[in-house]
Chains A and B, each alone.
Chain A
């Protein structure tokens, strides 16, 4: 079945460091791919998405490219800030039910000044 695998955290970085959080997926067909972020005490928020191969989603300095050949959707940011500290979830939508999101385990990012 469909699944998402993302790197375990926590990821600990200094401010202005480069961030990569790996995400790979297993799916039949070509699902849409998402990154959600959960800040402390808040709900998950959609950070970015890509709906087809080679699409790049971007928002708030974060980017992720839908790579069909490597079945990956790695999240990157060139210079993280303390305010980026949160839990990041990679997800895909089930093609048979686009409301059904299949998530990874989440990766906690901690950014220190």
Chain B
């Protein structure tokens, strides 16, 4: 079946550095992908909608200069957390909307980011 893969599944980085998380649709094309974040004991919150070939649409309160999203192909979107701080430590998960067969949305496995 349709699969979305995220990489890395876990990452630890130092404060001030940048870290990139990849979201790939393995066997389908996805013009639109979504990035979510979940802090401990809180809901999964939509951060931004990633559109292939155009700028991402960010939700209110999400800094677009800090969370850079690039969707350069129909199968890959990347989220880069720039100048990471400990408060950015969170669970990040992506989803991809299949461009055919009912536009079903498939989720990745998620990525745990720890900033030390």
- Show the binding face of A for B, using Cβ within 8 Å: 3-4, 8, 36, 38, 41-46, 89, 91, 99-106
20 extra A-B contacts, CB within 8 A, seeds A4-B43, A38-B110, A103-B36: A36-B107, A43-B3, A43-B4, A43-B6, A43-B95, A43-B107, A44-B93, A44-B107, A45-B107, A46-B104, A91-B44, A99-B32, A99-B105, A100-B46, A102-B43, A103-B45, A104-B43, A105-B38, A105-B43, A106-B38
Cβ of A99 and Cβ of B97 under 8 Å apart?
yes
* Number of B interface residues in the complex (CB < 8 A): 25
B34 adjacent to chain A (CB < 8 Å): yes
- Please list 29 pairs of residues, one from A and one from B, whose beta carbons are closer than 8 Å in the complex, sorted by A's number: A3-B43, A4-B43, A8-B41, A36-B107, A38-B110, A41-B9, A43-B6, A43-B95, A43-B108, A43-B109, A44-B93, A44-B107, A46-B104, A46-B105, A91-B44, A99-B32, A99-B34, A99-B97, A100-B46, A100-B49, A103-B43, A103-B44, A104-B43, A105-B38, A105-B41, A105-B42, A105-B43, A106-B38, A106-B44
Set of chain B residues within 8 Å of A91, measured between Cβ atoms: 44
Known pairs A43-B93, A44-B93, A45-B107; A101 contacts B46 (CB<8 A): yes
- Show the binding face of B for A, using Cβ within 8 Å: 3-4, 6, 9, 32, 34, 36, 38, 41-46, 49, 93, 95, 97, 104-110
Set of chain A residues within 8 Å of B34, measured between Cβ atoms: 99
Chain A min CB distance to B51 (Å): 11
Set of chain A residues within 8 Å of B108, measured between Cβ atoms: 43
Chain A min CB distance to B95 (Å): 8
The complex places the Cα of A103 from the Cα of B36 at a distance, in Å, of 10
Set of chain A residues within 8 Å of B42, measured between Cβ atoms: 105
